[in-house]
Structure 1
Amino acid sequence: MSRPLNILLVEDDAIEVMKFNRVVKNMEGRHKIMEAHNGEDALNILKDREVNPDIIVLDLNMPKLNGIEFLRAIKKDESRRCIPTIILTTSTNYSDIKECYNIGIAGYVVKPLRHDEYMQSTTKLIEYWSNNELIS
């Protein structure tokens, strides 16, 4: 059964934020998106214990606190470490991929360049997690 998701999107590129929001809006779901522009902003959002994202969609290349630094910080937080974190990035660097999985991500998606492919892959990502048994 599909459930509405509370999604924390951690992305510094305004165009990428707009694209992600467009995908979610086109799904006609009741998903809610919280936006953070870098890892530091995301950690500040998560300090509020009333903010409970079902998933985190995370870019790697950001200013202040990048995606890998954010991952390390969140995995140290006992109450937040189990939030499924999915990397959505342009990086195809194998060492980035391996490091992210070693830290404990739930998935790694390379942003497709073509708009229709981006829409498809992002829709599938959201559909998967809105039907996942881990999300209550």
Structure 2
Amino acid sequence: MKQLTIMVVDDDPDDIDLFKDALFEVDDSCRLVVANDGRDALQQLTDNGIGPDIIFLDFNMPFMDGKLCLTALKEDPLLRDVPVVMHSTTFPEEDMAFCKALGAKIFIKQVGYANMIQELSNILSEIRSRERFL
């Protein structure tokens, strides 16, 4: 089983710590790459040649929010096929529709540690099952 590379893009250090703890409880073999906003994520993805298996993208961030970052990801031929999970405490309906139209796969409302573990478990299981058929 190959090591999954997971990128989380979030400006809140507490949310990153929660994500990291939940991720490593679900699968401690994952490689986690952290970006602090959309600009940082795009720079890391292009400059460092990071090829994540999935990107968890916060919707509300300064400098470049999740909507703008998702747009840039889906316009890049090398990144457009990377699955993106949008996460936030709130999702306005029109923004959710916009992100779905761009190709965001899943939306997670951040409502606690147990919920994060369940969501990550489901998402990583789906990625692993696809990996078996490639």
TM-score where L is the length of structure 2: 0.89
Q: How many Å apart are 1:126 and its aligned residue?
A: 2.5
Matched, 1:124 2:122: yes
Answering whether residue 102 of structure 2 is matched by residue 81 of structure 1, we say no
Between the aligned partners of 2:123 and 2:75, the Cα distance in structure 1 is 25
Change (3 A) 1:103 1:134: farther
Structure 2 counterpart of 1:109:
108
TM-score, normalisation: structure 1? 0.88
**Relative to total residues, which structure has the larger helix share, 1 or 2?**
2
Q: Post-superposition shift, 1:17?
A: 0.4
Distance 1:3 1:127 in 2: 13
Deviations along 1:83-116, one digit per CA (max 9) or x if unpaired, are 111111112311111010011112112122x332
Q: Distance in 1 between matches of 2:34 and 2:102?
A: 22
* Percentage identity across paired residues of the two chains: 26
Letter of the 1:39 counterpart: G
Higher mean displacement: 40-49 or 54-63: 40-49
Alignment of 1:86-97 (within 5 A): 86-97=85-96
For residue 11 of structure 1, what is the aligned residue in structure 2?
Answer: 10
Give the residue type in structure 2 aligned to 1:17. I
Contact 1:11 1:58 (8 Å CA) reproduced: yes
Give ranges in structure 2 of 5+ residues lacking alignment.
none
Residue 22 in 1 paired to residue 21 in 2?
Answer: yes
C-alpha distance in structure 2 between counterparts of 1:34 and 1:75, whole Å: 19
Moved more, 122-131 or 69-78: 122-131
Q: CA deviation at 1:29?
A: 3.3
Q: How far does residue 135 in structure 1 lie from its aligned partner after superposition? A: 8.9
Q: Is the 8 A contact 1:75 1:81 kept in 2?
A: yes
User: Secondary structure of the equivalent of 1:132?
Assistant: helix
Structure-2 separation of matches of 1:117 and 1:104: 23
Q: Displacement of 1:42 after TM fit?
A: 0.3
- C-alpha displacement of 1:117: 2.2
Paired residues, what number?
134
Partners of 1:76 and 1:117 in 2: CA distance: 31
